[in-house]
Amino acid sequence: MAHAENDLTINRSPEDVFAFLADGLNNAAWRSGIQSIALKTGTPGAVGAIYAQTLSGPGGRPITGDYEITAADPGRRLDFQVVAGPARPAGTYHLSEATGGTTVRFSLDLEPKGLMKVVGPMIARTMRAEVDQLGTLKRVLESA
């Protein structure tokens, strides 16, 4: 299984951080690989909402990476599952109160199958790069 995880503290309330993360349209503000994103179905930030996103793949080629929100506990936890595209990791944002803000732990997990096992190391690097973007999330939220 490929796994990547990162955490940091953001000087905003858990409710503010959750609200920002739950609205997938905000992804473009802090995730560098987003080429486009739109709410496909459902209510923003609610379980069952599906976001259609196009990501920068190898060589900058566009790839699909649609995801569905699978759990939403405001101020505490947001889970999602990628439902379209070549790699389909599951992700979780765990939020907890910290002195002066919120500690965010972002984790991604993927069980490679078939040919995906061959490109496992590349997938692991991509997942690591994704969770490492929490620093950008911190800058965006603290400057708002």
pLDDT value for 115:
67
Whole-prediction pTM: 0.92
CA 18 to chain CA mean position, Å? 12
Tokens standing for residue 16 = 């503010």
CATH superfamily of domain region 2-143: START domain (3.30.530.20)
Question: Quick one: pLDDT at residue 120?
Answer: 66
What is the mean pLDDT of each successive set of 10 residues along the chain, which is 144 residues long? 94 98 97 96 96 91 96 98 93 96 97 70 85 97 92
Question: Residue 119 has what pLDDT?
Answer: 64
Cα(109)–Cα(90) distance, integer angstroms: 5
CB-CB contact of 122 with 33 (8 Å): no
